Amino acid sequence: MKTLIYLHGFRSSSRSRKAQELGAALRTQACDWEYITPDLSFDPSVAFVQIETLAARYRRDDLTLIGSSLGGFYAAVCAQALDCRAVLLNPALAPWDSLAASLGPQTAFHADQGNQEPFEITAEHLAALREREPTGVTSPEKTLVVVEMGDELLDHRATRSKFAASPQIVVEGGNHDLASFPSHIPAILRHAGLSTA
């Protein structure tokens, strides 16, 4: 059975637009699959334990980690450690830098739906992210990178350079939310081994 684990970004949740759109697409697939969308802790140390505990239940050859923004960082780190497939959507490569301006109290985007309470980002959280910085990219063919060049928060050039040996989908314009995401779902399903179309 193929398993996909979707890892949401900073201040997001399992109810994110992309998580829902991917779930809807998966329901059209005739093959066996399992789709998991955990609500990750704002504390990186806890989030890594959540992901690693989930991933340990599945065969690495059947597992694909899909991550958006901060979730892309988690996916890259964990997929490298597990030697499984990954899909990175406008990933944060150095979240300890990109989140430095977010130190202090925060509110999750989906808090009004009861998913998460207000939380606080500390210097210790940024340090915990930096401790997990990958030293390189192993098995680059197992990672599909999807970026929009109009990302207003992250530098797509750094992503394209770091994953130069990986398959990439690069879109002109767009934004950090990856507006073109639905059009890339077929490629994501192929990468995960769920479709040949």
Res 110: pLDDT? 60
pLDDT tens-digit map of 51-87: 999 999 999 999 999 999 999 999 999 999 999 999 9
Q: Could you state, in order of their start, the residue ranges of all structural domains in the chain?
A: 2-191
pLDDT tens-digit map of 165-195: 999 999 988 878 799 999 999 999 999 999 7
- Tell me the whole-structure pTM to 2 decimals: 0.91
Compute CA distances 138 → 74, 79, 81, 82, 86, whole Å.
Answer: 15, 10, 9, 11, 12
Angle at 125 between CA 128 and CA 19, to 5 degrees: 95
Superfamily of domain 2-191 in the CATH hierarchy: Alpha/Beta hydrolase fold, catalytic domain (3.40.50.1820)
Q: Report the C-alpha gap between 18 and 172 in whole angstroms.
A: 19
